[in-house]
Structure 1
Amino acid sequence: MEYKQQVQVGQNSLQCQNNSEDIDMRQERRSANYKPNIWKYDFLQSLSSKYDEEQYRRVAEKLREEVKSIFVEAVDLLAKLKLVDSVIKLGLGSYFEEEIKQSLDIIAASFKNQNPNVEENLYVTALRFKLLRLHGYEVSQGENTGRGVFNGFFDGTFDRSKCTDVRGLIELFEASHLAYEGEATLEDAKAFSARILSGINCSAIESDLAKHVVHVLELPSHWRVLWFDVKWHINTYENDKQTNRHLLALAKVNFNTVQATLQKDLRDVSR
């Protein structure tokens, strides 16, 4: 059945036509296919972990003392940089704030006293810049400042022949995301490193390094929620050829004890 309605507007006739069959039609709602909620009382109360026991707290305390000695043994610049970076990414920064501060002070001083005639390493340069700027140290991007971090790699554009190290490009990409407004060199660094990393044939490099490339292109590490990224970094650090067993053990114990504490808190608040 059809009905027509006419409305006179001045000299024009506006005609509306509707079909009752169209009115009666109902679009079938698609199922969202949601899975059943597992966060029920019985499930929450069943959460438990052996890492909630006192013995693991004692293990963690002993390992923290071992890691403190690693800071003392890390004498050269590269060792200090890698140690500070690893400790932070493994979620252990809060345990070694004093040691990290002392290391960064030395790293910052090394930049000020650096011989400008010494050939620079992209990995060391970019990692140093990233760590110093992340922790509030005054460090220049380069360009026309004369003492800029990236002057050895940048002369209007980044020199591809000096930027071949994949790990160095990863650190350059991360460092570029710490740019202040108007820092053109770092904006160029971001575009340059992103282009090179995106064009890498991941099957032609080490699998762990390839995973790191994909991971950083998704989002720089300091843009991520640190604790959500700790497990990924633990797995990556475990496969590193220069892994320190005490640092790795502490990272694992700490991750599990923190998780056990959160599970206990969840049980308590659900009662």
Structure 2
Amino acid sequence: MQVREAIELQEIEKLREQFKRELLAAASNSSQQLDLIDAIQRLGVAYHFETEIEEALQHIYNNRIDMEDDDLYNTALGFRLLRQHGYNVSCDIFNKFKDDKGYFKQSNDARGILGLYEAAHLAVHGEDILDEALAFTTIHLKSMASSPNCPLTAKVSHALKQPIRRGVPRLESRRYISIYQDEPSCNKTLLRLAKLNFNLVQDLHKEELAEITRWWKGLDFARRLPFARDRVVECFFWIVGVYFEPHYSLARKILTKVTAMTSIIDDIYDVYGTLEELELFTGAIDRWDTKSMDQLPDYMKICYEALLNVYSEIEEKVAKEGLSYRVHYGKEAMKVLVHAYFNEAKWFHENHIPTMEEYMQVALVTSGYFLLATVSFIGMADMVTEQAFDWVFNRPKIVRASETIVREAIELQEIEKLREQFKRELLAAASNSSQQLDLIDAIQRLGVAYHFETEIEEALQHIFNKFKDDKGYFEQSNDARGILGLYEAAHLAVHGEDILDEALAFTTIHLKSMASSPNCPLTAKVSHALKQPIRRGVPRLESRRYISIYQDDPSCSKTLLRLAKLNFNLLQDLHKEELAEITRWWKGLDFARRLPFARDRVVECFFWIVGVYFEPQYSLARKILTKVIAMTSIIDDIYDVYGTLEELELFTGAIDRFVAWKRLFYFIF
């Protein structure tokens, strides 16, 4: 094995030098050079040519080579590669591919459209032209993917599922090797280098995983901490996705071990520890010394000792390079995380519902990103300075944004698990109609009904047949819950249903009596129902209110409650993002200055539309409807307040012709 590796390393070095010369020879042909740089990166060998790539891109950037011509493919490829390497390239270079009306020109250039699609994924916020490019290219690529005559069908189909920007480099390298070898422009030197390199790096990863697995088995957590998840292999492959290159071998091992230990600690706080035990453990982490073990329960001692040993091992390895100061940052980041875990545990044990601000402040930390970002630097040799650690600890925007992304990804994953778990609970309740009805009612009132539309429909069809007598009428009930339920049901009457009108009158009298009775266990629910029956509530507001009520209900499903809380917070984040986007659009129109007579109602309009449909699948619909209503409000003010009759006649004619309206509509969206 060692002999084979030595021979292959020798060959890699020869191929590397040979390809450097070929890359240099392509300097006079920027189009060829861009293709080679793209291939280098996608084949996973870019770390062999960092200097050469940087020099080539700097030359292209300084001279705007291939950025000024009318070749869509070259322009898009140059834009993408420069942006990937941190160059500030303006997206305005794509304006030359638009027609006089501001639309992207139709094109049969499959490579160019695919290149523009990939480039559009490097947009930053507010770059409308790249948003338009993404919409334009997606439509065309979907058409190409279904065409038997398109030579790029396989590439297009894969790009639509997973654009380059969203791929895991190591997985994409393996896939791209198979594609690149069939390319007419395939460089044989580069292909051979990529294949040898992939296999050697894979061997290195196997060795690292074997070492980490031996360490993990030695800890014997499967027996000593049976409640904890065994995620060490999963953690390693996750870290390979962070950095796969050979020179990050130590960094991968450090980060995998800390991540695996963090998973154990997370399980202690989430699943196993009492609040008193967790308080002791948090204090021990703060002190960070072996003496603190004495006061911990036995199972916590096992975890605590293993954690301290991991950090001692890390310190021993980096101290050889004079980098032991880094371990201090790793410890402090762990303390921050553990305190956040403790806050979440405290909320749970005390049945406290935090405000959105409280929740996000803690939840962003418990995403684990801050710790992992810090620890990821520890093993990265001398390329990381102490200033880099200070930078992370200041939680800059990019760190906070990454925490948000990780937190939302975790919660989306948990929501999916909870959804499947609750589906099983709902199915298990099929033999108890009363319980199933309660669950369906809770689902709807907690604002998560859109997750279970099919299950609700099937259950209700089955349940209602059970409640009918021989004559086909619903059986009556005289209990308090039944009367409240009948009152709510009566609000779904349609015209001419006298029995429901009578039911409403009957139940209203009884509920008013209950509301004033100190002995009624449903007083709060009854009082609220009399003021605002379910049918007349705004679903989004009612969901928030009902979460507080439902968690104290003896029949509360913990799965459903957790799903509802996570779902509410994620939707609130989505609504905030939508409102921020709409507000930026509105401010960009500058109507406050340009049309000072008009009302500024855009935020009001948005919240009104959230009342119409709050679900995530209607995100685009909310933005469209909000913008159209906000524009309608402006037009209303023009007709009501400001315009003369002659001006209004002109405006009406313009709307009739619809040319101006279409342009305005395109500008808005």
Give the TM-score normalised by structure 2: 0.30
The whole-number CA distance in structure 2 between the counterparts of 1:59 and 1:52 is 11
Instruction: Supply the AA of the counterpart residue of 1:126.
Output: A
The answer for the alignment partner of 2:143 in structure 1 is: 199
Alpha-carbon contact 2:23-2:33 (below 8 Å) kept:
yes
Report the equivalent of 1:64. 16
| 2:78 match | 128
Cα offset, 1:186, TM superposition: 0.4
Deviation at 1:262, TM superposition (A): 1.3
Which amino acid in 2 is paired with 1:61? Answer: E
Residue matched to 2:387? none
For 1:93-242, what aligned pairs fall within 5 Å after superposition? 93-111=46-64, 119-142=69-92, 149-155=93-99, 156-160=102-106, 163-200=107-144, 201-206=146-151, 209-242=152-185
Give the counterpart letter for 1:100 in structure 2: I
Larger radius of gyration: 2
Mapped pair 1:244 → 2:197: no
Q: 1:112 to 1:260 in 2, by over 3 A?
A: closer
Q: What letter matches 1:122 in structure 2?
A: L
- Structure 1, unaligned runs of 5 or more: 1-48, 143-148
**Counterpart code for 1:261:** L
* Contact 2:15–2:190 (Cα < 8 Å) also in 1: yes
- What CA distance in whole angstroms lies between the structure 2 residues aligned with 1:125 and 1:231? 27
* AA partner of residue 183 (structure 1): E
Partners of 1:253 and 1:174 in 2: CA distance = 28
Query: Once the two structures are superposed, what CA deviation does each residue of 1:224-270 show, in whole Å capped at 9, x if it has no partner?
Result: 11111101111111000111110000000000000111112233333
Partner SS for 1:204: coil
Q: Sort the Cα spacing of 1:157 and 1:51 in 2 relative to 1 into closer, same or farther, 3 A.
A: farther
| Compared CA separation, residues 113 and 266, structure 1 to 2 (3 A) | closer
Is the 8 Å Cα contact of residues 73 and 116 (structure 2) preserved in structure 1?
A: yes
1:214/1:113 CA distance change after superposition, 3 Å? closer
| 1:90 matched residue in structure 2 | 43
Alignment partners' CA distance in 2, 1:202 and 1:171: 18
Shift of 1:77: 1.3
Q: 2 CA distance for matches of 1:264 and 1:243?
A: 32
Count of aligned positions: 210
- Which segment is superposed worse, 100-109 or 243-252? 100-109
Secondary structure in structure 1 of the residue aligned to 2:104? coil
Residues 30 and 60, structure 2, Cα contact 8 Å, conserved in 1: yes
Aligned amino acid, residue 137 of structure 1? Y
Is 1:55 the counterpart of 2:7? The answer is yes
Q: Is the 8 A contact 1:52 1:257 kept in 2?
A: no
Structure 1's 50 and 195: CA in aligned 2 closer, same or farther, altered over 3 A? farther
Write the distance in 2 (CA, Å) between the matches of 1:50 and 1:239: 32
What SS does the corresponding residue of 2:12 show, helix, strand or coil?
helix
TM-score (norm 1): 0.73
Q: Give the partner amino acid of 2:48.
A: Y
2:64 aligns to what SS in structure 1? helix
Shift of 1:50: 7.9
**Fraction of identical pairs, as percent:** 36
Counterpart-to-counterpart distance in 1, 2:48 and 2:187: 17
1:203 corresponds to which letter in structure 2?
P
SS of the residue corresponding to residue 270 of structure 1 reads helix
- Which has more strand, going by share of residues? 1
- Give the match for residue 36 of structure 1: none
Letter in 2 for 1:95: H
Q: For residues 50 and 191 of structure 1, what CA distance do their matches in structure 2 show? A: 52
Question: Which residue is equivalent to 2:581?
Answer: none
Give the whole-Å Cα distance in 2 for the aligned partners of 1:70 and 1:242. Answer: 13
1:51–1:257 CA contact under 8 A, matched in 2: no
